[in-house]
Amino acid sequence: MGKLAGRLEALGLPVREDALVGVFTTDVVKTSEIEGDTLDQDQVRSSVARHLGLDYGGVRARDRLIDGVVAMVLDATQRCAEPLTRERLFSWHAGLFPTGDRGIKQISVGAWREDRTGPMEVISGAIGRIRVHFRALPAADIPAEMERFLAWFETSNAFDPVIKAALSHLWFVTLHPFDDGNGRIARAIADMALARAESASQRFYSMSSQIRTERNDYYNILERTQKGNLDVTPWLCWFLDCLERAITSSETALGDVLRKSLFWKQHGLKDINSRHKAVLSRLLDGFIGHLTSSKYAKLAKCSQDTAARDLNQLVALGVMTKGSARGRSTAYELVLAD
C-alpha cells in the first residue's frame, strides 16, 4: 500500500483524484455484481465523482439505487473514523433499497428483519431440489446480537486491525440482520475496518473487485465456515490472501491511471475541443471495440459530418491514427505515449 501511495503521490492531485474515482467506481460495480446486480459504469462513475465533489463529463441522469450504493461505499471509507451505529446501518440499508423492494419482494427497509415468511435462509436450486446453504439465527435475537457486534466493532482490541476487518465481515454476514443487502453491507463494514487499519480514507485497491473475481471461492469458504465449528482460521487465511491479491491487482488499475496521465501530458495542450475531450476520455476509460465515425457521433452526440471533421482534426494533431480500412469501416486509435 505504501508503494502504491508513493507512486500516486508523485503524480499530483488530479491523477490521484482520477485513481480514487476509478477505484470507488469499481468497488460499487463489483460489490453489486457479487449479488447479481449489474450497474451502469458511467452512471456509477458520475455518482462517485459528484459525491466526492469532482467534475466528470457533465451532468448525467441520477439513479437512486446507484446513489445509494455509492453513498454507502464512500461513507464507510471517507468517514471511517466515525462510530458504526445502528442508525448508520439503517441509513445504508435504506439507500440500497430506495423503493422498499427487491424485485417483486417487499422488504423491511432501514430496520432489522422480522422473518414474517419464515426463517432467513440462503438457498439455491429449483423447487423440489432446494439446497439450504445457510440458515441465520431467529429474528428475535437480532437486536441483542447486533448490539454485541457494534460494541465489539467500536472497542479497541489487542489483535491486528486487519484481522478485525476479516472477523467483522464474517460476523455481520453470519448474523444476516437485514431482509436483503447483507453481503454488500458486510463488505462495506470490512472496508471501513481496513480504512481504520490503514489510517487512511483514500484507497487505491478494491476488495470487492477481487471477491467478485473469486466469487465461487468466497461463497464456498463462507458456507464451510458457517456450517463448521468455531475455528475461523480458514476464513481468515482466505480473506488475507484475497486482500493481498486485491492490492497486487491494483497495479493494473494504477497502470491505466498512469497511461491516461501520460496521454494528457502528451496531448493536453493541443487544440482539443470539448467534444474531442469527451470522446478521448471515454476511450481512455476502456471503450470496447473499434472507434468509427458513426460511433464517434453517438459518443459526442453530434452529426456524422461533425464526427468526420473532428476525427480528421485529431489525426492531424497526432492524437489519433487512422486504420488501413476505408469508408464506413475506417477505424481510429489513440496515439499513446511510450
Give the Cα separation of 169 and 192 in Å (integer): 10
Note the Cα 146 to chain centre separation in Å. Answer: 26
Per residue in 298-317, pLDDT tens?
Answer: 999 999 999 999 999 999 99
Decide: helix, strand or coil at residue 121. strand
Output phi, psi for 147, to 5 deg: -65, -40
Work out the angle between the directed axes of helices 233-267 and 215-227 (0-180°, nearest 10). Answer: 160
Q: Categorise residue 103: left if φ over 0, alpha if ψ from -120 to 50, beta otherwise.
A: left
Q: Bridge-partner residues for 122, per DSSP?
A: 134
- Statement: residue 117 has pLDDT above 80: yes
- N-to-C CA span, the chain: 26
Mean pLDDT of 128-135: 81
pTM over 0.85, yes/no: no
Work out the angle between the directed axes of helices 274-284 and 293-300 (0-180°, nearest 10). Answer: 110
Per residue in 180-224, pLDDT tens?
Answer: 999 999 999 999 999 999 888 777 889 999 999 999 999 999 999
Cβ neighbours of residue 291 under 8 Å, at least 6 residues apart? 279, 283, 331, 332, 333
Per residue in 68-86, pLDDT tens?
Answer: 999 999 999 999 999 999 9
Mean pLDDT of 129-138: 84
Quick check: 209 and 25 in contact, CB under 8 A?
A: no
CATH topology of domain 2-111+142-257: Fic-like fold (1.10.3290)
Q: Where in the chain is the domain with CATH 1.10.10.10?
A: 269-334
Q: What is the mean pLDDT of the chain?
A: 88
| Residues counted in the chain | 338
| CATH class of the domain defined by 269-334 | mainly alpha
Note the Cα 3 to chain centre separation in Å. Answer: 22
pLDDT tier for residue 57 given thresholds of 50, 70 and 90:
low
Find which of 41-55, 70-84, 268-282 is predicted with most confidence, using mean pLDDT: 70-84
Q: Where in the chain is the domain with CATH 1.10.3290.10?
A: 2-111+142-257
